[in-house]
Each structure stands twice: as C-alpha cells, then as structure tokens.
Amino acid sequence: MQTLDNYNFAGKKAFVRVDFNVPLDENFNITDDTRMVKALPTLKKILADGGSLIIGSHLGRPKKGPEDKFSLRHIVAHLSELLGTEVKFVDECVGDKVKAAVAALKPGEVLLLENLRFHAEEEGKPRGLAEDASDEEKTAAKKAIKASQKEFTKELADLADVYVNDAFGTAHRAQASTYGVAQYADVVCAGPLMAAEIEALTKAVEEAKHPLVAIVGGSKVSTKLTILNNLAQKVDQLIVGGGIANTFLMAAGYKVGKSLAEADLLDECKKILKTLEEKGATLPLPTDVVVAKEFSETAEHRTCRIEDVQDDEMILDVGPETAQALADILQKAGTIVWNGPVGVFEMEPYSHGTEVMAEAIAKATENGTFSIAGGGDTVAAVGKFGISNRISYISTGGGAFLEFLEGKVLPAIEILEKRAQ
C-alpha cells in the first residue's frame, strides 16, 4: 500500500482520518492523549511538506446525532498545543460551512472537523426507527441510509487532494470515512501509525519467531472464542487468564467455586485443548490461585492449590507458583502476543500475577523477544506496571487488534491495499 513516505504534500490538502477517540473526564479534560500523540508524525509530516490538514475523527458513540459531550471541540486546545500551531474548528463535517472553511485553508494550516459519527451516514445505520417498526420500514430505512451514505462519503472525499488513513483503531469498520472515502479519493495513503500497526501484528502472528506465546485474558470465552481457535493453530503456548482460565479449568475437571466461568462452553475449550495437543503446543493451567468469597479489594483472601478452591470462593488471580511458571515460559519466547490480564489487576490483592507476567514480558523483550500488547485492559496494565518503554509495540487498536488476531480481513486495510494495486 502507498504510505506517506513516498508522497509530497506541498500545496496539497489532505483529509486525514485519525482515531482521536480519547477519554474525557467530567470537565472534558483529556485523561489519556496516547492516540493523539501517536498520530503526530503523520500530521507533522504533511505540514512540514507544505500541505494543509483536514482532520476527521469520531469520539464516543453518539446515537441521536450531535451531543456536546461527544463534540471534538473539547480537544482543539490540546491538539493545537501538540502540533504547535492553531487548529481551526468547524462544527460540521460536511456541508457549505465545511466547504468554505476548506477553501480558505492555506498551506501549513489545520482544520478539525466535527465528530463524524454525528451523522448516521458515517456508520451506515438508520437512526430514529421506532422499536415496533415493521420489516418493511426497517428495509426502507436501510436503503435510504445507504443512498445518503454514498453522498456523504463523496462529499468527504471531495474535500481534499489526498486521503490518508491513520486510524488503525477503526480499521475493522467499513465506514464512510475509513472505507468509503478510500474508494473515491484520487490519491490514497496509509499513515505511518496504520503501517506500523500492520507491520507489528504481521510480525507477531503471521511471521512470528518461535516459540510463539499468546496471552488471552478476559471475563468470557464466548467473547474471544474465535481468537482462541485461531491462535491455537499458530502458537507454541497459549496462556489464558481471568474468567477464560476458569472455564478451561472446568473443562480439565477442576472445581472453580463461584468463579466467573461459562459451563456451556466446556466442549469448545476441550476442542481448543485438543488442537493444541495435536500440534505439540500447550495451555498451562494454574496450579495455585488467589481466592476470596467476595469480589472486593478489602475482602479476606487466601492463596491455595487449585484443587482446594471451595464452593463459596471465587478465583481472582493466579498464585505465586503459577505466576513464576508463566514468567519462565515467557522468558524463553521468541514472540509474545499479549491481550488481557491473568487476574483482577485493578485491585491490589489480585494484581501480583499480572505484574509478574508484565515484568517477565519486559525482560524477555530486552533479551530480544518481539512483544506486542493490545486491548484496553492490557494497555492499562502496561501503564500501571511501568513497562510502556519495555514492550516492542503497543497497539492503539482495541477491536481492530482483536479482529486481526481472529484472522479476519480488516476492511480499511483491504481497501488501502486494493487502491495500491
């Protein structure tokens, strides 16, 4: 695919799709600007070339049209500070007001459009349908939104000379600004963040140096079943954590008390275990765990053998023996893919397992292992344990990261590659 490196933006206007879906507090202050910071190389390259920027993004999930709490006006001041230049803002993303603002844009200037999702056309889903709408009404609404989405998409594409997609976090969505614009724009480029994400994930999964160890944590097997099945065919060791581990423990015949688990998915877990066994791979189960009778940081808790979990107890972390065993596996890995903690790391009594594992990943990386971490909880754990600079790559994509691990084709990447042909 074409990247920014081989294009000169001098005198050109670029519509850059970024992922500025950043968290805001109750006073609309940005609490984590990682996604904005990671997009800076793209934005600064275009400005340094002598081009002008038209920036598009979404923020949150507005369902009823414009809402102030989802307005991108809240990030204008900080974006101006990061870029070192004034960022102009227009409270729309299409229409005459936007066209006028774009026409007035000079080389070196920056224009931020309003939240793209204020328009239903961005996601291509009808809004305002009554709950009791008939099938005919639903069909008509879908047909209407698809027609208006096409016009919305073309209008976005016509804003600039070049379309740049640097929003890996939305790469799994075939939306107007992530897929549609790339169909109509004259020149299409992938930003360096998008390119880096693709390169890192490909290196970690498709071109992995073995042993390949994947860590998949989370509350439910059902939400990550496709990932587990896909990774089971590729990895040498598959480490599971949280409620996912509890379900695998049940599948292996252990009692997990009142721990979060999915008894209806035991057969699926057994299939995954069989897949791993047939290819000589392993899924190490906890031998000791930290349990409590309540899901609380202040609850009385204890460490016990996995065989000794009582009916009124819940597993909230792996024990020290298991944590060390996992650390030993990670230290020998050639590649590590990390998605999810092994315990309730947000609560201090149940954070030890994830902390030991995080430190082991960091040390392995320092010794030459390629490591990639992704997903909201994982990135939070990386930050909490202070290893951000000791991981090979931290993905900015939540859903996109997971769908790549599932082996799915990501629409935004697919269209970028198609346009490069």
Q: Could you list the active site residues? A: 35, 220, 376, 399
Q: Whole-angstrom Cα distance, residue 218 to residue 285? A: 15
What does DSSP assign to residue 206?
I
Spatial CA neighbour of 166 closest among 350, 43, 289 = 43
Helix (H, G, I), strand (E, B) or coil at 353: helix
β-bridge pairing 288-292 and 301-305:
antiparallel
- Residue 136's CB is within 10 A of a number of other CB atoms, namely 8
Q: Whole-angstrom Cα distance, residue 30 to residue 178? A: 24
- DSSP code string of 134-184: -HHHHHHHHHHHHHHHHHHHHHHHTT-SEEEE--GGGTT---IIIIIHHHH
- Residue 307's CB is within 10 A of a number of other CB atoms, namely 9
CB 112 within 8 A of CB 58: no
Contacts of 295 (CB under 8 A, 6+ apart): 314, 316, 344
Spatial CA neighbour of 236 closest among 210, 199, 197 = 210
